[in-house]
Amino acid sequence: MDKQSTDGSSIQTKLERRFEKVVTPFQYFIRDQTTSSILLILCTAIALLLANSPFRDDYQAFVELPFGLVVGNRLLSMSLHHWVNEAVMSLFFFLLGLEIKRELLAGELRNLQRMMPVIAAAIGGMLFPALLFLSLNFGSATEHGWGIPMATDTAFAVGILALLRRQIPPTAFVFLTALAIIDDIGAILVIAVFYTDTIDFLYLAASALGLAALLLLNLLGVRKSWAYLAGGVLIWGTLYQSGVHATVAGILVAFTVPARPTREPYWFLQRVRRLMRRFERIERQSDSSEDILSSNDQHDLVEGVQVAAEKATTPLRRWERALEHPVALFVLPLFALVNAGIPISPNTVHALWNHDLASGIVLGLVLGKGIGIPLLAWLAVRLRLGHFPEGLDMRHIIGIGILGGMGFTMSIFIADLGFAQADQLVAAKSGILVASLLAGVLGWLWLRFACNDKARA
């Protein structure tokens, strides 16, 4: 079978080329900014349908299906629901930690003056929702749910912005992403401090030792992924036993990941040039029918380029890129599938509007975020503490503030930590879903029409 394409650059078979024509559009779809949002919506809809169908008992039995690991004479057993929330979501928090570290070292968060409006907006987006929630729930059995409306779901909010890319400047994505990262830092601190019941300080000390060991590996220049993976698993296990929510391990381990390359860019440039010259010399001298499979020297040179590229890049960026799609396309949709199954009945709808827990969440996410984010951002600019990024004005900030009310993932996560009673958890999740839907629709409408004169070709 002919393997050579007409331009001589490909050695694919005809079957491979036909398959590539099918796969390539799918790959572009996977990389699109809106894909993760579409999958989240789809999995949320599936969970809601299953929870309100004749298969609801099977769905609940599957979600609560116990399985575990046996280590010596100890059994670690949890339901699927808990494995997803306690273990699988650690990957999400690990990726989040990598993003936060990169932003602090080389991104938007390192310039304090430029970030002051964003920091102020994030504070407003946490403070106002919590206060509005407490205005309805203070002194009641549900007051500890104040952390639920503080969060923003980056995937959903950025997905809505991506649909409006012609109406908004590119800096809107930067502002929203930085806002969501600061928001997530606040949510993580809330989880670690306020949603931990009892602490076993012996296991907590073991976690601290594991973290210190990873920091030492960083200082020694160790960049092997397996070392940080092994350390991360041990830290997760000790944190789980300590009483602190185990997903915090993802954030902690992320901050130990090396952010420095082994070699400078100039070394990489010189090294690759030498390897390419040797590769080209061998190619000119070799038989035209010979391929890289039969040429050990060429194969070694190509591997040398890969090694050089690894030394010239940072583990932080490589691992962040490697986790982006698995987290967006597997971890978060799985989380939605397991957690968004809310049984809806007339009682549920009645409780949504008459239960202070649900009303507080809707009020906090939609109104609290919609007021708190733009108000404090405007105040920071008014006090000359900083300025908005190029192309953004208050209309965009208002729209971003409304979109900030899409709290889905982190809000549901905190709700699961805060409430064990079924009726309270259903009320909380119902409020989150309604608020996220309202915030998404209202944010889209505002940015679509209020900022229409900013449309770009």
Average pLDDT, the chain: 82
Check residue 6 and give its pLDDT: 45
Average pLDDT over residues 200-224: 90
Fold for the domain defined by 41-196+245-260+314-334+343-454:
Na+/H+ antiporter like fold (1.20.1530)
Hey, what amino acid is at 348? T
User: pLDDT of 385-416, one tens digit each?
Assistant: 888 877 888 999 999 999 999 888 888 888 88
3-state secondary structure of 418: helix
Eight-state DSSP code of residue 293: T
Check residue 312 and give its pLDDT: 87
Backbone torsions φ then ψ of 388, nearest 5 degrees: -70, 150
Burial of 149 (0-12, 13-18, 19+ CB in 10 A): buried
User: pLDDT of 26-48, one tens digit each?
Assistant: 444 345 556 777 888 888 889 98
pLDDT confidence bin for 15, thresholds 50/70/90: low
Contacts of 147 (CB under 8 A, 6+ apart): 130, 187, 190, 191, 194, 195, 414, 418
Eight-state DSSP code of residue 148: G
CB 121 within 8 A of CB 389: no
Give the lowest-confidence range in 6-20, 216-230, 354-368.
6-20
pLDDT confidence bin for 290, thresholds 50/70/90: low
Number of Cβ atoms within 10 Å of the Cβ of 314: 19
Q: Where are the domains of the chain?
A: 41-196+245-260+314-334+343-454, 265-312
pTM exceeds 0.85 for this model: no
Hey, what amino acid is at 438? L
CB 126 within 8 A of CB 186: yes
Backbone torsions φ then ψ of 67, nearest 5 degrees: -155, 160
Q: What angle do CA 69, 73, 79 make, to 5 degrees?
A: 30
d(CA 180, CA 171): 14
Hey, what amino acid is at 24? T
Give start and end residues of each alpha helix (H) in 264-420: 265-285, 296-312, 315-326, 332-339, 346-354, 356-362, 369-382, 394-403, 408-418
CB 156 within 8 A of CB 440: yes
Check residue 288 and give its pLDDT: 57
d(CA 160, CA 333): 17
- Say which residue the tokens 């039995």 belong to: 61
3-state secondary structure of 66: strand
Give the residue from 361, 418, 335, 405 showing the smallest Cα distance to 47: 335
Hey, what amino acid is at 399? G
